[in-house]
Amino acid sequence: MSASAQPLNPVRRVPTTLLRILTIAAAAIVLLATALVDTAEAHGSTINPASRNYGCWKRWGSDFQNPRMATEDPMCWQAWQADPNAMWNWNGLYRDGVAGNHQAAVPNQQLCSAGRTGGVRYAALDNPGAWQTTRVSSSFGVKVHDQALHGADYFRIYVTRQGFNPLTQRLTWNDIELVRETGRYAPGAGTRENDPVLNGVSNTINVSAPGRTGRHVVYTIWKASHSDQTYYWCSDVTFS
C-alpha cells in the first residue's frame, strides 16, 4: 500500500461518555418496556390504604431518581434500590396455583412479598421499618382496584394484633387477625376510576378493627375469579 493510500473502513473509537449515555438509555428503555407490558397485562392492588409498592410508585414513580426519597421516604428508597420493578409492577404481586392454601404458599416473614413471588423482586416489601402510613379509625374502608376486571371469589382483610411492631418485626400469620371476608364479585363489578393509569374498577370493603392504636399493617388477600391466581398486599396504617 502506498504512503498516500487510506484504509477502506477505518475503525473509530466511541467516546466513553457516549457509551455511558447509551447504556443508561438502554436501561431506561428496558424499564419502560417492562412497565408497558405489565400495564397491558395489569391486575390490581389495594390503593387506599395503599399497598407498600403501589404507595411508593404513586409518590415517586415520576421522580424515582430524586435523592430526597432517601430521607423523606426511606422504606421506599430501599425498595427502589433493591429492585425498581417491584414498584413498576405494583399491580402484579400474586401467586398462581395456591388452591386456597395460603399459609403453605406464603411462609412467615414473607407475607408482604407473597412468599417472594417472582424471586427477590418484591423481597424489600417484607422489610420492617417506617413505611408511610394512612390514618384510619377503628372502622374504615379498604379500597381495592381490579385493573384487569378479574372479579373475585373473595377478599380477605386482616389487621395486625395490638402489640405487633411493624417498625422492627416482619409479618407472620400469627401476627394478623381476620376482620372481614367477602363473597364473590362478578368480573367488572365496581366503580370505574378516572385515573388513566388505574383504568379499571374499584371496590371499597368496610372493616372494623377495634382496640388498636398506633402503627399496624392491613393484609389483604384477593382470590381472583378468572383463574387460580391470588394477590397478597401489605398496607401500613396508623390508628388514631
pLDDT attached to residue 41:
54
* 3 state SS of 177: strand
pLDDT attached to residue 196:
85
> Which residue from 216, 240, 210 is spatially nearest to 138, judged by alpha carbons?
210
* 3 state SS of 200: coil
CATH code of the domain occupying 42-239 = 2.70.50.50
Domain coordinates in residue numbering, the chain: 42-239
Low-confidence ranges of the chain (pLDDT < 50): 1-14, 17-40
pLDDT in tens, 125-161: 999 999 999 999 999 999 999 999 999 999 999 999 9
pLDDT attached to residue 240:
87
pLDDT attached to residue 21:
40
